[in-house]
Amino acid sequence: MTYKTTRKVRIGNIEVGGDSRKTVQTMWKKSLDLFSGEDLEEILNLEDVGCDILRFSVPNFRTAGILAEIKRNINMPLVADIHFDYKIALECIKNGIDKIRINPGNIGDEWKVKEVLQAAADKNIPIRIGINTGSLDKTFNDISDKAEAMLKSAESEINILEKYNFTNALFSLKSSDIESTLRANREFSRRWDYPLHLGVTEAGPLTAGLVKSSIAISQMLNQGIGDTIRVSLTDKPIQEVIAGREILRACGMYANGVDIVSCPRCGRSTFDTHEFISSVYDELYRVKKNLKVAVMGCIVNGPGEASDADIGITGAGTKVVIFKHGKIYRKVDENKGREEFLKVLEEFVR
């Protein structure tokens, strides 16, 4: 596969574009007005499970100040998502945010965009131009082809960027319609070398959103398009991060962390794989090493899958068998399975 070479952009301590690795993003789901110490712990947990970049909605100056305080306690790059008021973007830039995301359909007149560009250039802060079919500038509302409308909007914004010699930019072209998203991003990638942030906007609840996002994002990645991804779900941010990781892994673009092979369960199962996976979910996704883990329900496929894994566990009557490096390591009562499994996992991650 030939990958499109895009220009490289630095977002805080992470590079996006060029020959950089593909990154995973998510968005904070709560109002910054309600931010607490527990929320800070949740952000640290997102970083632990593989979130590279975190975006926040910043609707006013008060929340801009709260975001500045959060940034002082977080290493992960943070992004301010700005709508309607360009002065809030200027405030976030002054506070040293790592990236600004603006929507060209509602940020205002060109002179306002110019001020934001100049302020960002002075501090070497990148800007993502986020183009969504649901919030296009009224200039493009009469274009019935959604992909074409997004491309016209992108071209208009690029003309403004180039007019003011601003090159430190990324783009996203998103629709809730997969085909429109695919066509817009393919054509954008053909025409321009700005890094692309991939995603399907308003993709839906967990299952529906995963299906739509996986189909769209994986197609683009496998065609050599895209530099960073966000899986938009009506669910918790951690689900978006894990989904993003798994899409990159399935496309051969994510080497670190755990590859989980698990049994869907059937009438032969003597081991509740559903409950077990849920009980070790957080521990597994915090692992930074490249490991394969098999969680199987019975002796039909269990030993075979476990033999190919670094760590495995499978049901065997009223007991479970734990595998290590593909070989039987220990057989214990089922109620001790989790404890013994985590001990073996700890040996691998030390």
251 annotated to a ligand binding site: no
Domain boundaries, the chain: 9-250, 258-349
pTM assigned to the model:
0.92
Those residues whose C-beta lies under 8 Å from the C-beta of residue 144, and which sit 6 or more positions away, are: none
115 annotated to a ligand binding site: no
Structural domain 9-250, CATH architecture: Alpha-Beta Barrel (3.20)
The Cα 114–Cα 127 span in angstroms is 12
The CATH class given to the 258-349 domain equals alpha beta
What does the pLDDT look like over 290-310, one tens digit per residue?
A: 899 999 887 777 677 777 889
51 annotated to a ligand binding site: no
Q: Are strands 78-82 and 99-102 parallel, antiparallel or unpaired?
A: parallel
For residue 1, what pLDDT band results from cuts at 50, 70 and 90?
A: low
266 annotated to a ligand binding site: yes
Answer for the pair 345, 311: CB distance below 8 angstroms, yes or no: yes
For residue 195, what pLDDT band results from cuts at 50, 70 and 90?
A: very high
Segment 204-216 mean pLDDT = 94
What does the pLDDT look like over 95-133, one tens digit per residue?
A: 999 999 997 667 888 899 899 999 999 999 999 999 998
The Cα 182–Cα 190 span in angstroms is 12
